[in-house]
């Protein structure tokens, strides 16, 4: 019972911003939005998380809509090394993965 919906795949030119959307219309008030990524069969890597305010760290920015029903992960200057599967996860206690978005960054 996936709580999030993401596009299957996206492309982005190197150096441009990559904007990855996620819908989570059934999110509860105390549930956070988490983003992880998995680079070519490696173990997933934490990127960022947020509750209702926008968040930024050295890897990415997370924009959450006011009604919290959707969010966008932004990689401001995508590089080839950002090619990966990106998972948007909503949960309170355990990581439950969906199928994610396969982001391909091209030269």
> What count of other Cβ atoms lies within 10 Å of the Cβ of residue 22?
25
Do the Cβ atoms of 36 and 91 come closer than 8 Å? no
The residue within the footprint of other proteins, chosen from 9, 45, 56, 65 (CB under 8 A), is 45
Going by C-alpha positions, the residue among 60, 47, 64 that lies closest to residue 4 is 64
- Report which DSSP code applies to 76: T
Kindly state whether residue 62 participates in binding other proteins, applying the rule CB under 8 A: no
Kindly state whether residue 100 participates in binding other proteins, applying the rule CB under 8 A: yes
Going by C-alpha positions, the residue among 21, 27, 25, 26 that lies closest to residue 8 is 21
Q: Which stretch binds other proteins (CB under 8 A): 14-22, 30-38, 59-67, 72-80?
A: 30-38
In whole angstroms, the minimum distance from the beta carbon of 86 to other proteins comes to 11
Residues that bind other proteins (CB under 8 A): 32, 34, 36, 41-46, 49, 85, 87, 89, 91-100
């Amino acid at each position: 019972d996936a709580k999030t919906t993401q596009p299957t795949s996206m492309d982005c030119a190197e150096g441009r911003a990559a904007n990855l959307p996620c819908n989570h219309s059934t999110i509860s008030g105390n549930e956070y939005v988490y983003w992880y990524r998995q680079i070519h069969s490696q173990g997933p890597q934490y990127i960022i998380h947020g509750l209702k305010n926008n968040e930024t760290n050295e890897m990415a920015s997370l924009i959450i809509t006011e009604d919290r029903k959707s969010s966008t992960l932004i990689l401001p200057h995508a590089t080839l090394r950002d090619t990966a599967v990106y998972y948007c996860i909503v949960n309170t206690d355990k990581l439950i993965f969906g199928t994610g978005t396969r982001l391909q960054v091209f030269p």
